[in-house]
Structure 1
Amino acid sequence: MNLLIDFGNTRLKWAPWIGSRLAEGGVFAHAEATLPAMLEREWAGLPQPERVLVASVVKPELEQALEGVVASLFARPTQFVRSPVNALGIVNAYAEHVRLGVDRFLALAALHAKAARGQILVGCGTALTLDALCADGRHLGGLIAPSPQLMREALGRSTARTGGARGMLTEIADNTADAVHSGSVLAAVALIERFRRGVERSLGSPLAMIGDGGGIDELLPLLPDLQRERDLVLRGLALWAEQART
């Protein structure tokens, strides 16, 4: 059994990879002060893994805290996967290949393994990430912006009277809560649509559009051709684990 971990800016998601199957795991919002206690509770009774593989985008202090828990519970090293120049059929567009978030690289690998086609990956967690992928596995690059949730949080921190009330989605708002909520969602949708149009114009062909991440669901009603996927980073980590074994 391999223990796979998707260590995001807000949430940590994990699952055992047993044979050729992703088993049920867990997910929780993490904070530096509570991470060890949360992991010890999550992994209580978990069998000893052969390897622990991590896709991490967090700061080194949190990675070190995770390493300490893994060493304490399983007496195993923690293997942090970093984005390569190419692997798993994906050719990294970044000149500094390790600067591409490994979560994005692995999610693209999982998509490509499922269907080798031209496609756009929309990731929505703390950040909104957009990546374009050719059918031959060439990553063309992408964009990064705040997610709608992060936009709303930034407005709440930086302005005096936007308030904390949750708003409703509307095209023209007549109150602040709805204006903030709708503005954040519609800004994200506009960026996604503009990105897709630009890539399709450049390639001269339509692309499939795939979405994953904890914040993607609020975008789905406004992007009816956005196909929902789940656990792409963990599925990419599973591919990485299988490749390393061969």
Structure 2
Amino acid sequence: MKLLVDIGNTRLKWAVWRDGRRAMGGVYAHRDTPFDVALSGNWTALPRPSAILVSSVVSQDVERALAAFMATLFDVAPQFVRSPAAALGITNAYAEPARLGVDRFLALAALHATQPRAQVLVSCGTALTLDAIGADGRHLGGLIAPSPDLSRHALLGATARIGDAEGRLVEIADTTQDAVQSGCVLAAVALIERFRAQAAGVLGETPALVGDGGGLDAWRALLPDMERGRDLVLRGLALWSGG
């Protein structure tokens, strides 16, 4: 049994991987609750894992706190995976491979393993990340922007008299709240469409569009041909661990 952990800027997702498949798992907002409070109830009931693999984009202090908690609970040191130059069928575009967020690398690997093709991966959490790969697994590179939610909160925090009420998603707004909400979402959609068009020019074909992350669901309908990915980072960790 292996314990797989994906810790992002806001949420921690975990899964138990046994006999090549997910057995159980969970998710929680780690900024709000300490690891021992949120995870002990679930993890103390687990058998000692043969390995713990972690995808992390958080600070080293948070990683050390998580590692110490795991070592106390399981007496197993976690392996924090870093992005390599090439692995799992993916060739990293970055000149300094480890600087590519490992969550992005692992998600691409899971996507490519499922269906090798030209595709763009959109991941929306705290940040909005875009990555393109060819059918051969060659990573072209990507973009990082604030998610629509983060853009909205940043705008509300830097301006006066807007208010904090959430607006509706419309194409042309006639209230400030709707204008903020719609402007932040439509900016993200336009970025995705432009990135996909640029990737198509390099790849010589229009790439498939796949989205992952909890921040997508409120506006995914604006990109009607976007396919929905699920737990791609955890699936990439499972591939890294040997299945």
TM-score range relative to shorter protein: over 0.9
Deviations 1:47-66 (A, max 9, x none): 21111100000011110110
The question of whether the paired residues in 2 share the 8 Å contact of 1:40 and 1:69 is answered with no
Other-structure match for 1:111:
111
Separation (CA, whole Å) in 2 of partners of 1:88 and 1:237: 10
Q: Offset at 1:124?
A: 0.5
Do 2:118 and 2:203's aligned partners in 1 also have CA atoms closer than 8 Å?
A: no
SS in structure 2 of the partner of residue 218 of structure 1: coil
Query: What aligned pairs does 1:99-138 form with structure 2 within 5 A after superposition?
Result: 99-138=99-138
Closer, same or farther: CA 32–178 of 1 in aligned 2, 3 Å: closer
Is contact 1:32-1:62 (8 Å) kept? no
Moved over 4 A (4+): none
Which residue does the alignment assign to 1:160?
A: 160
Superposed CA offset, 1:139-181 (max 9, x none): 0000000000100111122112221111110011111111111
Aligned-pair distance for 1:214?
A: 1.2
| CA spacing shift, 1:32–1:99, aligned 2, 3 Å | farther
State yes or no: 1:231 paired with 2:228: no
Q: Does 1:46 align with 2:46?
A: yes
The AA in structure 1 aligned to 2:86 is N
Structure 1 distance, partners of 2:146, 2:46, is: 35
**Mapping for residues 62-211 of structure 1, pairs under 5 Å:** 62-211=62-211
Q: Is the 8 A contact 1:121 1:209 kept in 2?
A: yes
Tell me the distance in 2 between the aligned counterparts of 1:160 and 1:36: 39
Q: Please state how far the C-alpha of 1:40 moved relative to its aligned partner.
A: 1.7
Q: Mind listing any 5+ residue stretches in structure 2 that lack a counterpart? A: none
Instruction: Look up the SS of the partner of 2:48 in the other structure.
Output: coil
Tell me the percent identity: 62
Q: Following TM superposition, by how much is the alpha carbon of 1:77 offset from its aligned partner in structure 2, in angstroms?
A: 0.3
| Residue 219 of structure 1: how far off its partner (Å) | 2.7
Distance in 1 of aligned mates of 2:223 and 2:90 = 26
Q: Report how many residues are paired.
A: 243
TM-score calculated relative to the size of structure 2? 0.97
Native 8 Å contact 2:35 2:69 kept in 1: no
Question: In the alignment, residue 88 of structure 1 is paired with which amino acid?
Answer: L
- Is the partner of 1:66 in helix, strand or coil? helix
Q: CA deviation at 1:78?
A: 1.1
1:6 aligns with 2:34: no
1:189-208 CA-partner distances (Å, limit 9, x unpaired): 00000001111122221111
Query: Is the alpha carbon distance of 1:121 and 1:192 closer, same or farther for their aligned partners in structure 2, counting shifts above 3 Å?
Result: same
In structure 2, the partner of 1:58 is: 58
Aligned mates of 1:17, 1:214 — CA distance in 2: 22
Shift of 1:46: 1.5
Contact 1:123–1:129 (Cα < 8 Å) also in 2: yes
Matched-pair contact (CA < 8 Å) for 2:118–2:135: yes
